[in-house]
């Protein structure tokens, strides 16, 4: 489905990075199961080219999510694939509870996970070993 000028921007958007095996995503506002499905599609494209990828997610102006998105079949499938393909996972910003969730669940997987405050975003890019591509004028 093609977007029109009047359609709202997706809540989960791709961040262009300097490495093919580094996927960057930005979450802005409130996201739905459709947003998550699109995000997992972006990740699947990276998995198709690289067995292992790193992931940086920047969360700005977080307004929550639809609970149905957590239990959606495609979301569960996407999470299972992520466990097989993601090597390092950096989260920048987000609600205050995000750090605690990552601290609890991060060690339960083989994925190296770390949370950074929004003010420390540059440290997150260094930790993940890449950078955001700046748009060309």
Q: What is the mean pLDDT of residues 78-103?
A: 87
Given this structure, which CATH class describes domain 12-128? alpha beta
Residue 11 contacts residue 35 (beta carbons within 8 Å)? yes
Q: What is the pLDDT of residues 61-88, one digit of tens each?
A: 888 877 766 666 766 677 777 888 999 9
Among the listed residues 67, 50, 59, 1, the one whose alpha carbon sits nearest the alpha carbon of residue 28: 59
Q: What is the pLDDT of residue 70?
A: 65
11 phi and psi angles, rounded to 5 deg = -75, -25
pLDDT digits (tens, 9 = 90+) for 2-60: 545 555 677 889 999 999 999 999 999 888 888 888 888 889 899 999 999 999 999 99
Question: Could you tell me the pLDDT band of residue 105, with boundaries at 50, 70 and 90?
Answer: confident
56 CB contacts (<8 Å, ≥6 apart)?
15, 17, 22, 23, 24, 25, 89, 90, 91, 92, 124, 125, 128, 130
């Amino acid at each position: 489905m093609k977007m029109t000028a009047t359609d709202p921007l997706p809540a989960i958007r791709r961040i262009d990075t300097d490495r093919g095996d580094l996927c960057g995503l930005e979450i802005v506002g409130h996201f739905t199961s459709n947003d998550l499905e699109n995000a997992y599609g972006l990740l699947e494209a990276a998995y198709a080219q690289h067995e292992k990828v790193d992931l940086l997610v920047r969360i700005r102006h977080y307004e929550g999510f639809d609970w149905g998105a957590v239990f959606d079949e495609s979301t569960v499938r996407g999470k299972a694939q992520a466990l097989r393909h993601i090597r390092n996972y950096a989260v920048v910003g987000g609600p205050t509870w995000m750090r605690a969730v990552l601290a609890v669940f991060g060690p339960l997987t083989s994925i190296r996970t770390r949370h950074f405050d929004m003010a420390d975003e540059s440290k997150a890019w260094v930790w993940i070993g890449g950078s955001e591509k700046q748009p060309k004028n």
